[in-house]
Structure 1
Amino acid sequence: MWRTIHVEKLRGETTIPVYVYSEELENMTVREFRRRLDRFGPREDYILIYRGIVLEDHKKLRDYGITHEYTVHRLDRLPGRGLMGRFLKEKHLQEATSTLKLLQVPFQDTSLHKDSSQIDIGFAAQVTLNQLKSSKNISERQRLEIRVDCKKLLIALLEKLLKKAPVHHTLVRSMQCLDPRRMAECKELCVSQMRRMLHILVGAKHVNEAMCDDILREFREFCDLAALQPKFREFDPKNTRVDTLLHETMGTKPSFSKVWDVVKILLVLSHGQASVERGFSINKELIVENQREMSLVAQRLIVDHVRSVGGITKVEITKELLLSAAGARQKYHGYLEDEKKKKERQAVDLKRKALTDDLDDLKKKRARMDTHTHTHTPDSSISTFQKPSR
């Protein structure tokens, strides 16, 4: 028999009925319920709330008392919505049901803005303004001007944030295909996203276009394999790393070697210039006694820049570059001096720790000797050998 659980957006604009069998509902976890709910639309970052309590993925619905015809609330966690909500009208934000739509909201358009008196400038600022107004230190006009200035600041802040937001890039948005849960459930969508990423990587000369057909074939086969394994469908990013899982299932198999090379490139993007662990750390393979990680990072930055401008002959010799090169030796000596001082401090700390440990050992030995002496006094020994009186 079918059972229904209603999922309602927190603002109440949409209600989605989720149907499950009565036998499933008895032991269904919140994570399984999320997967069922994700079939009704694109996977977004959200939390589920019931009676003011945020539902935890590993718990079962019955742990919260959720059963047939109950309603669970869903709250989307979209970046930027909080700042936009301070000065934009609510109806325009409700239409932004995904991260991409939120980025496309024309928040500079004054026709979408709230009235100046309704702009949210924050609790503390609001209290201060009210105090200044009640004490007649500022006029109503000045009060509104402060609110308008706050709105200008919020708009400028949003412009800066969204300009640097990585989700603007097609490559970043398409990286959803590396989500193990998507691989197991949405094969064709993942293949389409992988194809888009390959177009970008080929254009950047990171991938040979002659290899793309083989890469897509291997990726399709890997998605088929993922659909058969529970650890992909039940993947929890809070407890398991994506690179760990993909290295174990993809990186160690020769049949997926070509797509694994592409996946390594994509996974390194989220780490910036940091070392990437779990089986494909290039830094770990290259670091030797006479070469430190800082040197490797610097070399990578130089190589990436040379590639981006199209070759060593096209590198622009600027004044900043010349000054940096002239001061390189001095910076290196400064680095060596800092390392020497660091080692000296470590040696002093180790010596102090060794002395402290020796002192603690002596105190413990003295305590044991005092205890032994107290339990074996001469009086007690004499009384032990006295004959009992008749």
Structure 2
Amino acid sequence: MAIGMAQVARNDPLIMAKLHMAVSRIFTTLLTKYQRDEPVMPFISKDLAILMKSLLKRFIKAEILNDITALQMVKLDTTAKEARAHLKDVDIGLGAEVVLKELQSSPNSRVGELSVLAFRKDCMDCLTNIVKKMQDKNPLKYTILRQMACLDPTNMFSDRDLCYERMKGVVQRFLHDHQLSGGISAGDMIVQQFGHFLSLEAKDESSSRLDVFLLGLLHQSYPELWTSSRKLLLLSHGQATVERGFSVNKEIEADNMKEDTVVAQRMICDYVSVCGGVLKVPLTKELLAAAASARSQYRLHLDQEKRKHASNAQREKRKVAEDHLEQLKKKKMILIEVANSLEKDADKLAEQAEGQSGTLMAQLITKSNILKKRCKEKITVLKEVEKALEDKSAELRHMP
């Protein structure tokens, strides 16, 4: 199949234009930015809006995109003919334009005006499908994501009124979802503190991590605002961290490795990563003391495991004895009931025999004697069970 596709591509005169048209580079910057562990959710709405608008500009009329909001871009019907630009105005990229001009100016070229229009039509359909997929899965449709942009320092500095309204929306969402323990009064305090923060301390701090920036300004002076902001910063912006963790687990895994060992090695790997590498790990007194006492800690761990195994074995032994004791008690009760029933039936047959004579009396007496014999056998077994029950009870009393 791969050879066939390569042959088709080789025979396609527009293959170079199609390769230059590839839009994967547009997503590279966004994907790279959000493959990080630090909190970046307040920035994602602006970046996604910029990305979508850059794609829409390539095949949607300019007048439709003037002053369009993020939510309107998500809901825009890109298949409508009145919204689409003319085929000659579709932006296929500078590289593709240069290749098309070279192909058209070539004397032996098979690429004519009709082929170029068909290529531009295919490019428009491709862009439409990409935007449609983004619209279907785009988080910009969620109000809380757009409102979280109020924590972007650039927005705080450039449009304080809009940020204030967005924070009010976030607080209302918190109240609706019962995420504020203090209720409405706590929500009013958060909005009030945010307004005070915007008027006095908000500034463009793009060179600093967002959580570091907000912690330094909010933690002491605006504790309620910091608590609610921290909940927003904890929202995950992707699964890169989880997938990276799977890769780390695969590297540290070995045969016969128990859960505690995996957890310990992951903690070491995470700490080294936080420090920026093995050579940057600070050699503190606690770390040196832990390394020096590692052997003794290992021996202590082995002793604890040995005692734990002994305790588990003793517990299991006691459980087996208790189960056996319970079975003996049930057997005793059954034997008592059977013996009493046999004795009653034998006495009843003996009474009936007293009022009879001849063969019938002999038969009744014979049945009565048989039942009495079986009753004595059950009583003998009952005494054995009672003896075993006493021995097992004594054994349990002497168990630790």
Q: Identify whether the pair has TM-score above 0.5, normalized to the shorter chain.
A: no
**Between structures 1 and 2, the one with greater strand share:** 1
Higher Cα Rg, which structure? 2
TM-score, normalisation: structure 2: 0.42
TM-score computed with the length of structure 1 as normaliser: 0.43
